[in-house]
Structures are given as C-alpha cells and as structure tokens.
C-alpha cells in the first residue's frame, strides 16, 4: 500500500510562526518513520511549510496516487484538513482518508459527523493505530480490531473501537523520517511525551504520565539532523523539558559532548517547578538561546485554580532569578480571560509580567479548545464563559472569536493584551527593547493596533488563492499577521 501523510495549507495567514512556519511538521515525520519499516511506501507533503495552495496539494496527491492519506490537525486546522480530504475524495474516490490529532481525539464522533469525507479517525497516539489500520486494510482483517480507531461501518453508522494504549517505551518508536521532509531552518524534536499537570486550558493529549526517550537515542537524532539537514535551530517541544532534571542534565551533557551547540541553537519550554541556576547554565552551554515559562496568570487565586502546580509567586520569582544569573533569556506566556476574569484580575497578570520582566512576553486570549475544562465550563455557561462560535477557524489565541466573557468585552480583552505587551517594556524602562520588538513585529503590530482601535483586521485567505473560497469563507482577499506565540502541542 502507498501511504501519504499531509499537513494541510492554512485557511488564512494569522500567526506567521504557525501558518508560514520555518519548521516541518513533526507528526508527519514520526508517523512515516513508524510505518515505513513495515514495508509500506510512504510520502509526506507539508503544504503549510512548502507554501502550497489547496490545488497544488491535490496535484501532489494525484502525482503520488496513494491508497490512503493521513491528515493531522489541531482545532484551528481541522477545516483546512477536511477541505483537503474533500478534494481528494472528489478527485480520487477510492482513496481512503484518516484524520488524526488533538481535535479528533477530543471530539471524535462530532468530527466524523461534521466531515463525512473522512473515512477514519485516529483517537489518541497515532503511530500504532496507523500501522494496525494499514495492516488490516492490506490483509482484509476486521477493522474492529484496530484500537484507537473510529470508522464508518457498512451501514454508514460510526463505529468507535477500544481506546489505544499509549506507547510506554518511547525508544521503540523509530527516529522520525526526516529524510522524507524538505530541509528546514528549524526542527521540532521531542525527548518525552506527557505532562503531570492538568491545566484547565489544555487537553493534555499525551497523558499525565511522562514517557521518556533515552538521552542517547534523542541526541543521535539531533546528530543526524545536524549532519544531514544543516538546521539553524531546534525546538524541544516537550510539554516540560526539564520534568526529570537528572535526565535533562544527561541530555545536555551529551549535546555538549557531541558538539551540537557549535552549529545549532535551540529553545525549550519548561515549568518553574523544575528549574535552578545550574540547569540554566548548562542549557546555555549546550546551545539554548531562550527558555519559556508558562505562567498564564498573575492573579493568585486563579493561579491556584488552574491546576498548574504553582501555588504562589515564589517559584516564578526563583526561576526568573536563576535564569537571569545564568544569563539565559526568558520567554513567558500569559493568558488573558481566565475563569471569572475581571479587569482587576487581568491587571494582576500584567503586574506580574512586569515584575517577571521576560525578554519576550507573550499574551494570548483564552480559547475553549475541545476536550479542555475551559470548554466544559463554557458549554455549561460557567466561569463567566459562553461559547460564541463553533466555527473552528475562530479557535485562535490571538485573533479568534470563539468565546464570550461575562466580565470583559472582547475589545477590553484585546486592550489588556496590548497593555500587557507595552507595560512589560515601558515600566521596566526597556525602550530600546521595545523599539526592537516593534520593528521586528512591525507588520503584526500595525494590524494589531488597527484591530484594537478600529475593530478592523484583514487576513490572507489561502483558499481564495487556490481559486475557490474555503468552507465558511466568502473568498475575500484579507491579510493579518499577529504578535508571535510560542510553539505548543496544544493549539
């Protein structure tokens, strides 16, 4: 069987980091690397990275002529993925299509019903599910034996199989098939899957048990990438890079020993509970150029309510102080629009951001992603939330409009977002840094101000570029880029 894994084009250019990325999609390479050793022919098309339109993506499918196509999507990507699926089914009706990823995992029945062009859905971790599906299709075996699969039975009714058990031993997963992806300036890599916390805004798709790769195998992957792909940067996209600090030190020691920092810089996100000055000094020595902290809110009551494992400001202050001593820059992430948020509680977040004084502050607005506690609260009308839209294109932390807030208007939230950015620089007298920030993101900043001040924003509609409006779009040519946001596995 011929398999093709696809990352769909963006519906619109909203966040340049995500919609015109400098990195290829890790999920495609990982799935390809898992099934290829079992005798399947595999192709990967990262339409988002390659800047392909929908029509160009379809042409790549026609050229390869796969038996089955695998698509992956976060919530705000699910409609573009479904559009690609519909185009494939229309042009090549015999091709089977499976969609995996966080959105399908969160609401599988709803997703399959919403997008009838999908033949299968992968629920949970996708590697073994994909391989088992290929084996079943090849041999004619009963699809009901494929754990983690939702599919359409002979009568068209949905069949949801037994849940997929996560792969405990991550070393049994082969290295991602990076050779099937185009060379990139940056690569997303993972040392472990899972996060022990249960933040209300996050679905935690990789589970609360942290499953780790051996440091040796992970660094071997980095070495292969450095030698063969010549990247400029890595992004360690673990949920918490230093959750096992002893193991993290081993990884860093190996990176230094193998000479990784001589040619490549990298960044990672971690939790303030798993940091100290020694770790940061070694991270910097191993090539780290910045470290990210998810702080989310500066309101103490809301901080404790988030289930983030931060009970007070002491850990936050200690982590920032340790990074400063190690001379490792810090990126800090905040979310405006917490449960029962008020102007005063949001200002507390801004005050904490000013106090932390991160080198790069990131302010997003709360989104009710499927499978999260925030979504459940919003659907019940609790927490001061109410679902405003179920158009998945609206599920974006910067310019989305999926959620209404009882205590704050959307415009007030955007004003607070702008105030947060300005306050960190101005109140810390970082005027040169502010100038650099505004110049670096001048295009994004212009459109951001236009939206906040005049309630107007424009987008680049990728569907219109392809010659036809996307579902739910009117085909207008629009353009918007926004303030950057950190990489994350939970879009």
Measured between alpha carbons, how far is residue 63 from residues 60, 70, 81, 305, 465 in Å? Answer: 5, 16, 19, 52, 21
Residue pair 25/71 in contact (Cβ under 8 Å)? The answer is no
- How many CB atoms are closer than 10 A to CB 261? 18
Residue pair 287/331 in contact (Cβ under 8 Å)? The answer is no
CATH 3.10.290.10 fits 2-160, yes or no: no
Q: What six digits make up the tokens of 250?
A: 């081993």
pLDDT (0 to 100) of residue 438: 84
pTM of the model: 0.90
pLDDT (0 to 100) of residue 445: 63
Output the CATH code of domain 185-397+400-456. Answer: 3.20.20.70
Q: What six digits make up the tokens of 411?
A: 């415009």
Q: Tell me the β-bridge partners of 189.
A: 236
Residue pair 170/192 in contact (Cβ under 8 Å)? The answer is yes
Nearest to 477 by CA among 459, 491, 454: 459
- Every domain of the chain with CATH number 3.40.50.280 lies at 2-160
CA distance 25 to 245: 27
- Every domain of the chain with CATH number 3.20.20.70 lies at 185-397+400-456
Residues 6+ apart with CB under 8 A from 363: 334, 335, 336, 353, 416, 417, 420, 421, 483
DSSP conformational letter for 400: -
CA distance 176 to 27: 8
What sign does the CA torsion over 255, 281, 440, 410 have? positive
Rg of the chain on CA atoms, in Å: 22
Residue pair 9/456 in contact (Cβ under 8 Å)? The answer is no
pLDDT (0 to 100) of residue 451: 62
Q: Low-confidence residues of the chain, pLDDT below 70?
A: 14-15, 398-399, 442-491
């Amino acid at each position: 069987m011929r398999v093709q894994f696809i990352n769909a084009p963006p519906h619109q250019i909203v966040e340049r980091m995500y919609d015109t990325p400098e990195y290829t999609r890790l999920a495609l390479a990982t799935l390809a690397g898992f099934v290829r050793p079992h005798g399947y022919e595999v192709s990967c098309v990262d339409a988002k990275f390659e800047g392909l339109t929908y029509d160009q993506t379809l042409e790549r499918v026609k050229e390869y002529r796969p038996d089955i196509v695998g698509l992956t999507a976060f919530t705000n990507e699910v409609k573009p993925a479904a559009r690609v699926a519909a185009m494939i089914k229309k042009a090549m009706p015999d091709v089977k299509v499976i969609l995996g990823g966080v959105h399908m995992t969160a609401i599988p029945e709803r997703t399959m019903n919403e997008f009838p062009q999908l033949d299968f859905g992968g629920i949970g971790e996708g590697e073994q599910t994909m391989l088992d599906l290929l084996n079943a299709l090849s041999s004619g075996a009963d699809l009901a034996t494929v754990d983690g699969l939702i599919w359409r039975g002979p009568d068209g009714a949905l069949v949801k199989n037994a849940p997929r058990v996560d792969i405990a031993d991550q070393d049994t997963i082969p290295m991602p098939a990076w050779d099937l992806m185009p060379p990139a300036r940056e690569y997303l890599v993972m040392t472990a899957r899972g996060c022990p916390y249960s933040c209300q805004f996050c679905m935690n798709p990789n589970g609360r048990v942290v499953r780790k790769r051996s440091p040796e195998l992970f660094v071997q992957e980095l070495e292969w990438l450095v030698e063969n792909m010549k990247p400029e940067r890595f992004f360690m996209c673990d949920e918490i890079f230093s959750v096992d600090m002893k193991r993290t030190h081993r990884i860093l020691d190996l990176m230094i020993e193998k000479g990784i920092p001589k040619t490549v810089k990298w960044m990672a996100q971690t939790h303030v509970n798993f940091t100290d000055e020694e770790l940061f000094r070694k991270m910097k020595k191993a090539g780290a150029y910045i470290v990210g902290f998810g702080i989310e809110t500066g309101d103490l009551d809301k901080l404790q309510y988030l289930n983030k494992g931060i009970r007070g400001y002491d850990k936050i202050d200690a982590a920032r102080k340790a990074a400063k001593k190690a001379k490792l820059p810090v990126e800090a992430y905040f979310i405006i629009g917490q449960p029962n948020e008020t102007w005063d509680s949001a200002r507390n977040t801004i005050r904490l951001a000013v106090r932390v004084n991160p080198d790069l502050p990131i302010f997003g607005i709360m989104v009710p992603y499927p499978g999260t506690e925030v979504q459940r609260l919003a659907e019940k009308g609790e927490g001061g939330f109410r679902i405003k839209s179920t158009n998945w294109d609206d599920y974006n932390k910067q310019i989305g409009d999926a959620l209404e807030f009882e205590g704050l208007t959307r415009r007030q939230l955007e004003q607070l977002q702008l105030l947060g950015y300005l306050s960190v620089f101005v109140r810390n007298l970082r005027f040169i840094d502010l100038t650099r920030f505004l110049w670096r993101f001048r295009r994004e900043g212009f459109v951001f101000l236009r939206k906040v001040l005049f309630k107007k924003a424009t987008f680049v509609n990728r569907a219109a570029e392809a010659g036809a409006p996307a579902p739910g779009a009117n085909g207008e040519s629009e353009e918007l880029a926004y303030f950057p946001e950190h990489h994350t596995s939970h879009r």
